[in-house]
Amino acid sequence: MNVLVTGGAGYIGGHMVLALRDAGHNPVVFDNLSTGFRWSVPEGVPLVVGDVGDHELVLRTLQSHQIDAIAHFAAKLVVPESVADPLGYYLNNTVKSRTLMAAAVAAGVEKFVFSSTAAVYGNASDKPLGEDAPLAPLSPYGSSKQLTEVMLRDVAAAHGMRYVTLRYFNVAGADPALRHGQCTENATHLIKVAIQTALGLRPHMEIFGTDYPTPDGTCIRDYIHVTDLIAAHVLALEHLDRGGESMVVNCGYGHGYSVSEVIETVRKVSGKPVEARFGSRRPGDPVTIVADSGRIRSRLGWEPRLDDLATIVEHSLRWESMLRERNLKL
């Protein structure tokens, strides 16, 4: 398949590019490089620098590369930033996704894989969340993705498109062969922040809220290794290619760790101290989000291979250390 990977110069999309090549498909990266990096696109993979909101350029790219499927990763994704700038998030994540879908319809692209998020669920109970749980996002980021999910469902029904929407829980880790990893500048994600603190790149870090109704008072998340997550995307594309029906699936392991447990794991794996100060709650944070991952396992045959927090931390640590050795200030 010729696959347009929007956001393919970013963290998760970059792993998709590698996995598509490994599986014998042809990725084409479409990215505006707002948070992605030109150098992260492997040699030989076409890179179109542009915005998914540019209808003409997207359409031309779909046609000239004879694209069979779109994997749509391009988005802004920092929860507190979305609380401060909802209009920016609805524009980039929702309005521009509409433009992308319109170009897909115009070019006759029939297969679409979409990066959604567990942030669409909001504050659920402490039970693992199934896909049919009520959607009640707590942040404009989550709402921007929910709206796009709805739009994709309706566009697909009207225009003979089939899709898989993947709701990611918390993604972390790096390619085990260190071909790619998280490069976000001024990172806000917990595991990356804790590792940067262990490596002495930050003097200390903050735990956002210690008074949540959880056993140790800190929020609980379901951390999934990026390599397992991307394996699910390749399965999703191949499912669509076989004529499989549209679906929404959760991507998580089905068990969660608290913020304090994650920081403790970073201390153990790195053998370094991590100074973590207690701070106040961060706006838009749900208490607990853990996936019920039964559907993706049964319908796509997905079997995680790296379901272990220490392994996730170890791969992230190796990647971060390599960035430092190469003096890449990310």
Ligand X SMILES: NC(=O)c1ccc[n+]([C@@H]2O[C@H](COP(=O)([O-])OP(=O)(O)OC[C@H]3O[C@@H](n4cnc5c(N)ncnc54)[C@H](O)[C@@H]3O)[C@@H](O)[C@H]2O)c1
Residues engaged in binding ligand X (CB under 6 A): 6-7, 9-13, 31-36, 51-53, 73-75, 77, 92, 96, 115, 117, 168, 170-171, 184
Within 10 Å of residue 45's Cβ, how many Cβ atoms? 18
- Residues in the chain, overall count: 330
Residue 244's Cβ-count burial label (10 Å; 0-12, 13-18, 19+) is middle
Out of ligand X, ligand UPG, none, what residue 309 binds, judged by CB under 5 to 8 A for its kind, is none
* Segment holding 155, helix H or strand E: helix 140-159
15 or 162: whose CB is closer to ligand X?
A: 15
Out of ligand UPG, ligand X, none, what residue 323 binds, judged by CB under 5 to 8 A for its kind, is none
What 3-state class would DSSP assign to 224? Answer: strand
Own/partner pairs, 133-138, CB within 8 angstroms, 24+ separation: 138/284, 138/285, 138/286
- CB of 219 closer than 8 Å to CB of 259: yes
| Rg (the chain; Cα; Å) | 19
Determine, following the binding rule CB under 6 A, whether residue 124 of this chain makes contact with ligand UPG: no
Least separation in angstroms between CB 170 and ligand X = 5
Out of ligand X, ligand UPG, none, what residue 259 binds, judged by CB under 5 to 8 A for its kind, is ligand UPG
CA terminus-to-terminus distance, the chain: 33
51 or 285: whose CB is closer to ligand UPG?
A: 285
Least separation in angstroms between CB 120 and ligand X = 10
Query: Which residues does residue 104 pair with via DSSP β-bridges, in sequence order?
Result: none
73 or 240: whose CB is closer to ligand UPG?
A: 73
111 or 192: whose CB is closer to ligand X?
A: 192
Catalytic residue of the set 141, 163, 168, 212: 141
- Stretch in the footprint of ligand UPG (CB under 6 A) among 10-18, 101-109, 186-194, 299-307: 186-194
Distances (CA, A) of 292 to 151, 253, 312: 24, 8, 20
Least separation in angstroms between CB 208 and ligand UPG = 4
- x/- track of binding to ligand UPG for residues 201-240 (CB under 6 A): ----xxxx----------x-x-------------------
Nearest CA-CA partner of 236 in 226, 228, 247, 227: 247
Determine, following the binding rule CB under 6 A, whether residue 251 of this chain makes contact with ligand UPG: no
Determine, following the binding rule CB under 6 A, whether residue 117 of this chain makes contact with ligand UPG: yes
Least separation in angstroms between CB 114 and ligand X = 8
Match 């998914």 to its residue by tokens. Answer: 52
CA torsion sign, 146 to 151 to 154 to 159? negative
Out of ligand X, ligand UPG, none, what residue 239 binds, judged by CB under 5 to 8 A for its kind, is none
11 is catalytic: no
Give the β-pairing of 47-49 and 162-168. Answer: unpaired
Determine, following the binding rule CB under 6 A, whether residue 66 of this chain makes contact with ligand UPG: no
Active site residues: 141
Query: Interface with ligand UPG by CB under 6 A: which residues?
Result: 77, 79, 117-119, 169-170, 188-190, 193, 205-208, 219, 221, 259, 282, 285, 289
